[in-house]
Chain A
Amino acid sequence: MIAFRRMRPLLGTYVEVGTLTESNAIPPDFGSYFEIIEKVHSLLSFHDAKSDLSRLNGSNGQAVELHPLSIRVLKLAKAFSRASNGAFNPTVGGSLQKIGALPIHGKLNSLDFGDETDIYIYGNTAKLLRPIQVTLDGIAKGYAVDLAINLMRKSLSNGWVNAGGDLRAFGSVELPVQRRALSGEMESLGGLKEMAIASSLVRPAFDKHFPSWILSTSQAPVHKGVWSVLSKKAWRADALTKVLCTADPSEQTAILRRLGGVAI
């Protein structure tokens, strides 16, 4: 078997799509796996002022018609926020804008954060019930990986997608995974098979050169370090890293188990 893999700069990081094949030929439709990831990115990017997400955030409480994929991810984010009792909160955009972790399109006019009930969805439209800024960074990258995997399954027997550390593998492939610590040191984790893994880094302090940042909307502290979660789906693994780093250490295992993940 030969590993055929391609990599493109997407989602603000490097995205690799690969498969094990018998032949040297470039598998057909390989570009479409990147295109679906690019589609999710263009719909749900907070940075892009024209994305579906930015239109919703700039809607001043008006109902906005959105792409079905955007609606799907908003619904997932709401449901997961409910299931995690708000530990995963997709409405923290305002706070992240204030510290410079997210850009401000137009005027900053937002609560620091709200909760999932502030996002009202009916049909293909969504509406913000309070002036909040929705951010789907904790889930959209994983969701993009899942969509690409679903598409790959239609024409390939195995494969994987690695979107800057959010990884998912399917079929017979067993993907060796290592984790990069904050120090740059690498740690072997094992082989990933029919599963997803996501990692989130919590730095000791906010650094404008690495603006990715996780904050807590409760009294719970955000624990420093690199947090990795295994789950069947990449969106869930992605979202669970945010739950993990704010969970009380004594409760982490139980909370993740309830939400369909395992911390490693």
Chain B
Amino acid sequence: MSLNRHLYLIPLASISAISYATEYLSSEQAQKVLFPEADTFTAVPIQLTDEQKDQIKQLAGVRQRKSEVQIWRADKKGEVLGWMVLDEVVGKHEFITYSAALDPKGKVLGIEILNYRETHGGQVRDSKWRKQFVGKVLSDPFKLDKDVANISGATLSCRNVLDGVKRLLAMQKVVSFK
């Protein structure tokens, strides 16, 4: 079948990193992506008390670790559209910084990953399959940076981020954002 003749991966220069970090959006870019209609963003950080952290845990079932939380309010012509909250979660392999946009009624307007870092205990090794191609020349001029994580394998669950968002919604109930 002719289709299969073209199904092979292109050999790459050896990749040795075992930790990846990808920055998707800066905090400022995320604000614009999550609230494209806003004309002003105002930093309104909060400092949570231990009591408030306990209340968040009770409401969300997930512990709020950090006391300092970075929040920006998005306004359009003086009207509050909502808030962007910056948060972090840790998974099995991954460490994620993300932003959630919440409206004044406590609805999630959007979630964007800002930073994704994945680490592994094991070495990166070349597959046997790949080795047969080592030494052949690449002709394509466009290549991504070598340490980019494009990983195929067991699908990682995004539950950590979704639990994080639940925690942020609880936070919004406990502390009214300004």
Contact = CB atoms under 8 A, between A and B. Distances in A.
With most chain B CB atoms within 10 A of its CB, the pick from A20, A184, A194, A232 is A184
A62 interface: no
A193 interface: yes
B90 interface: no
Given A20-B144, A165-B154, A261-B7, A9 B113 contact: yes
A183 B122 contact: yes
Interface in B2-40: 3-4, 6-12, 14-15, 18, 22, 24-25, 29, 32-33
Contacts of B76: none
A193 B10 contact: yes
A125 to B, nearest CB: 32
Interface residues of B, number: 58
Tell me if A's interface is mostly helix, strand, loop or mixed.
strand
A262 B4 contact: yes
B142 A175 contact: no
A180 B151 contact: yes
Tell me if B's interface is mostly helix, strand, loop or mixed.
loop
Contacts of B138: 174, 191
Contacts, number: 202
B123 A7 contact: no
Interface of A: 1, 3, 5-10, 12-14, 16, 20, 26, 31, 158, 160, 162, 164-167, 172-195, 197-199, 201, 210, 212, 226, 228, 230-232, 257-258, 260-262, 264
Given A14-B156, A14-B161, A185-B121, 18 more contacts: A1-B142, A5-B24, A6-B24, A6-B112, A9-B162, A12-B155, A13-B158, A16-B24, A167-B150, A178-B124, A179-B153, A184-B121, A186-B18, A186-B120, A189-B129, A190-B11, A230-B9, A262-B8
Interface of B: 1, 3-4, 6-12, 14-15, 18, 22, 24-25, 29, 32-33, 93, 98, 111-113, 116, 120-127, 129-130, 133, 138, 140-146, 148-159, 161-162
